[in-house]
Chain A
Amino acid sequence: MDIEHALEKFHSLKLVDINPGISSMPVVSENSDMMSVLKTLRTRHHVWVVKDRDSMELVGVIKYMDVIDVLLPPEAHRFRLGMTSRTMKSLLGGAAKAGDVAEKQVLTIDENKTVLDALIKMRKYKTQVLAMVDGNRLVGEVSIRILIGELLRLIKVSGAQWKQ
């Protein structure tokens, strides 16, 4: 199989089939302290924030780049009309728990959609991770990291070769 075929197959993969499952996803409860969030973010690009591990009700997501707002002092943020949402994420501004920092509006995708759908949505919204939910319950994720891993696995399994 050449690389074009491998990519075609990759694009048509259903997200449900490449979902890593909750156990391997970075998840913290909304009451977790910020230190555990930062520890997770040392090695992951995001961490899901759920109400508690039993219900897995999705509260939000903290992404790698959000750490900038967490670490900056409150005075480094601008105050404008509307909410002072970024400022409230600052550790020195009083943010103490994962729930204080999480972005509550999470981009989601249906698990029956394909990899191509996920890539298009990621490009449109400039995001590297999408949640898969069943109602409010977090059931999976698709991220650039997972997609790269899946593509490489597919190429390896099919024996496809890169053609210049």
Chain B
Amino acid sequence: MEAVTWLLFAIGISLILAKIGDAIIEHYELPGVLGELIMGMILGNLVYFGIVAPQYLPIVSGEQYVNTMTNIADTLAKLGIIFLLFLGALDTDIDQLKKTGVTATVSTVLGVFVPLIMAWYALMAMGYPSREAFAGGVLLTATSIGLTVRVMMDLGVLKSEVGAASLSASVMDDFLGIALVIFAVGSGGLFGLTLKIIAFFVITGVIWWFLVDYYIKFAEKLHVEKGILGMALGMMFLFAALAEGWFAAAIEGAFMMGLTLSKLPEGKRLMEDARAIGYGLLVPFFFVHTGAMLNLTVFEHKNALILATVMSLIAVIGKILGRGFGAWITAWGRGRDFLMTRENAWMSLQMGIGSVPRTEVALVDLMVAIQGGAIPPSDAPEFIAATLIFITVSVLITPPLLKWAFKAEIEEAKAAKAAQKAERIKETKERIKEIKGNQ
């Protein structure tokens, strides 16, 4: 059979396994993306361990496997990242960003920079070059709020002050995590790079912000099948090309296009169609492809284990410290008297713990850093292994930590419910007594 047949087979099997893996992991109330990664890992290691010949599963990475089919699979996965970011931005509530309060802002900024700086220095101390160490730090910056929201909902604390602040911090957190990767992969001097970044955000974020409305109105006038979607995706790819050309980070263009479109009702209406392309094909393929990049033989070298341990520790401690301290110094806007109280410390700790999970943005940043050359091919397997491990650790550790941190609130809610129940029973008994007395 021809090589293209096996590529089609690999895409087909990847999508089917991705959805099955997703469903299995979701059943355990964990992010489905983990299931997609695990399925990819299984597929990839069938090749790495010599069980399946590489030409039958052309989705694995590594210099010895490169051919036209793996290049096509790489491109498809890259389109998956672009769509993931586009859809994420399109679903963003810009008003939420505008409403981000002081506590959420300060804690988000520190929650992003503390783990970044900790990892940067730790990896440099381990012997990694500065640029690579910085890229490693960027992987730890963005929180995946989904899991936190789910756990907080289960615990009934999402509407609390901490829950609301965590939610409003999530948009800025994603934005910073996605933007910072430019500094890892961008080439040229810091001054030149900064100028390019400013120019890019002026074009895509300021000028386009005002033009997007006219562009969509123009697209509306083209009475062709899916004309508006096609025009929007076309512009998204132009932005992605600009970002790829300037910083080797196409995702920035896709993200900015999604963000600017999200302010328009017409843009929001494109979501269902774009979602069908993204979550039906490209995004799951990206996650399987990423999972398939993890060659388990990497754990034969202790470097990979050490890197995974260091990054997992910083992922948890760095976020709790950074975001927690950020929330603490603002004293939740209640003034100096509140600063040294136990309540301030505890709420800040809750805020910090809520920011621990990482998933999609870490993977996106990882792929951008590898493709952009910030993480060289020789170190890529170690970083892939470390990233998948710190993602798993952060996702598994968050629910029990949140339950512990919100123990008092949960007890309070339980006591209130029990009191309400007792009150209702008492009222019913009295009514029965009354009825019996009347008889």
Contact = CB atoms under 8 A, between A and B. Distances in A.
B158 A104 contact: no
Contacts of A93: 153, 158
A79 B151 CA distance: 12
Given A75-B29, A107-B266, A108-B265, A81 B153 contact: no
A125 B228 CA distance: 9
Interface in A94-146: 94, 103-108, 120-121, 124-127
A85 B269 contact: no
B91 interface: yes
A112 B267 CA distance: 23
| Residue among A74, A103, A127 with max Cβ neighbours from chain B (10 Å) | A74
B60 interface: no
A82 B158 contact: no
Contact of A82 (B31, B32, B91, B266): B91
Nearest to B357: A79
B171 interface: yes
B269 A83 contact: no
Contacts of B174: 81-82
Given A107-B265, A125-B269, A82 B29 contact: no
A78 interface: yes
B contact face: mostly helix, strand, loop, or mixed: helix
Interface in B379-434: none
B19 to A, nearest CB: 12
B93 A85 contact: yes
Interface residues of A, number: 26
A29 interface: no
B213 interface: no
A85 B91 contact: yes
Contact of B153 (A74, A107, A124, A127): A74
A156 to B, nearest CB: 31
Interface stretch (B121-129, B141-149, B180-188): B141-149
Contacts of A39: none
Interface stretch (B81-89, B302-310, B314-322, B333-341): B81-89
B153 A83 contact: no
A83 B266 contact: no
A108 B174 CA distance: 30
A83 B96 contact: yes
A138 B92 CA distance: 25
B41 interface: no
| Residue among B32, B93, B170 with max Cβ neighbours from chain A (10 Å) | B93
A84 interface: yes
A83 to B, nearest CB: 5
Interface residues of B, number: 42
A contact face: mostly helix, strand, loop, or mixed: loop
Nearest to A123: B223
Given A104-B95, A105-B265, A127-B269, A81 B150 contact: no
| Residue among B147, B149, B228 with max Cβ neighbours from chain A (10 Å) | B149
Nearest to A73: B153
A120 B217 CA distance: 13
B382 to A, nearest CB: 25
A68 to B, nearest CB: 14
Interface in A63-94: 74-75, 78-85, 87, 92-94
A126 B31 CA distance: 31
A120 B154 CA distance: 43
Given A81-B91, A83-B170, A125-B266, 19 more contacts: A78-B32, A79-B150, A80-B360, A81-B361, A82-B88, A82-B89, A83-B91, A83-B92, A83-B171, A85-B93, A87-B149, A87-B153, A93-B158, A104-B93, A105-B268, A106-B265, A107-B266, A126-B272, A127-B269
17 contacts: A74-B153, A75-B29, A79-B150, A80-B87, A80-B279, A81-B84, A81-B361, A82-B91, A82-B92, A93-B153, A103-B268, A105-B264, A107-B266, A124-B220, A125-B269, A126-B272, A127-B269
